[in-house]
Homo-oligomer: A and B are copies of this chain.
Amino acid sequence: MKVSILGAGAMGSALTIPYSEKNEVILWGTEFDSEIIEKLLRGEKHPRIDEMVKASKILDHSRLDEALVSDAIVIAVSTEGVIPLFKKILDRIDSKMILTIAKGLIDMGEIMTIPEVMWNERPELKDKICAITGPSIAREVAKKLPTHVVYSSRGDETLKLAKNYLQTDYYRISISKDVIGCEITSALKNVYSIAIAWIGGMESKKGVSMNNLKGIIVTQALREIGMVVEAAGGRKDTVYGLTGIGDVIATFRGGRNGMLGELLGKGYSTQQALEELEKRGVGVVEGYVNAERAYKLAESLDSRGKIDLDDLRLLKSINDVLYHGRYAEEVISYLF
């Protein structure tokens, strides 16, 4: 089939490689991707994945229309960009499938997952929407290193189509109907990654290894994610599968969430840590933005009697550190 990827960041661009095994692939860049698109059009490697993309057409942001003719549209922009882009294109798409990759929650007054916002916008597309979760570091996907992800959708046909056309030898796809569970798990994983990284920061500050504490924090993180997922109508199995554990393991040391968490673990205040990351040229930390939303989601589940917020000690601690001036080391001792 014909697949258009909207967003030429690391993940969108990496997916051109497995997707082009069986399909014609079009890559479109947003206005933020202009520099990258120029490089790609000059025949250079993608700077963030260090590989050549594989696309029959590479389009800059002025040529969005040409990308909307495909059988599958993959929205591969940041959490903040997904819904505006979706709204912009929704009257012009007549695809078999719409895929979403961003791992975040949306604040629409009420906190929602990305697919839920899409379902509300265009209920008749519900079965066509498919979310991609699970351990997939973009550079590794681009290098054809073994990857196994989860595609979730309410539509059986969509899942069948996705698996048939998009799976390759090195990019395996498992399918799931637990869209809510997959999306909440992924978004919360980014939030809890901040706390997991505190320990690395504390270790380097104190010059000791604290592996036992890492075991405690990861176990607690997955337990709490499981509670939120179940309370929101998702499945605990999802947390203990590739989407949860798999992704925690794959991203254990890296990413922007980890960088933020490590600075906090070293004793930086959130303000100082965010300034330091800005100095280093690190962009938006999705876990930071999502932490507030995750907490708001938990509060709303608590107020509806579906969960007891007091059981989410780690989430509360993360919130206290990120938004209420507490320090990581202080909340760890309270936590423990």
Contacts and interface: CB of A to CB of B under 8 A. Distances in A.
A217 to B, nearest CB: 8
Given A140-B210, A146-B213, A209-B140, A218 B246 contact: yes
A249 interface: yes
Interface residues of A, number: 41
A136 B212 contact: yes
Interface string A174-214: 00000000000000000000000000000000001111111
Contact of A242 (B139, B216, B332): B216
A127 to B, nearest CB: 28
B242 A145 contact: no
A272 interface: no
A247 B137 contact: no
Contact of A246 (B136, B219, B242): B219
Given A172-B336, A222-B240, A145 B245 contact: no
Interface in A126-155: 134-137, 139-141, 143, 145-148
A247 B214 CA distance: 9
Contacts of A140: 208-213
A247 B211 CA distance: 9
A245 B218 contact: yes
Nearest to A196: B249
Given A146-B336, A240-B240, A250-B215, A209 B245 contact: no
A81 interface: no
Contact of A250 (B134, B211, B249, B252): B211
A145 B209 CA distance: 9
Contacts of A148: 212, 215-216, 336
Contacts of A300: none
Contacts of A240: 219, 222-223, 226, 240
A112 to B, nearest CB: 26
Given A146-B212, A211-B252, 5 more contacts: A135-B215, A145-B212, A146-B336, A211-B254, A215-B247
23 contacts: A135-B212, A135-B214, A135-B215, A135-B216, A136-B212, A139-B209, A140-B211, A140-B212, A145-B208, A146-B212, A147-B212, A172-B336, A212-B250, A215-B242, A215-B245, A216-B242, A218-B249, A219-B241, A219-B246, A219-B249, A222-B245, A223-B240, A245-B245
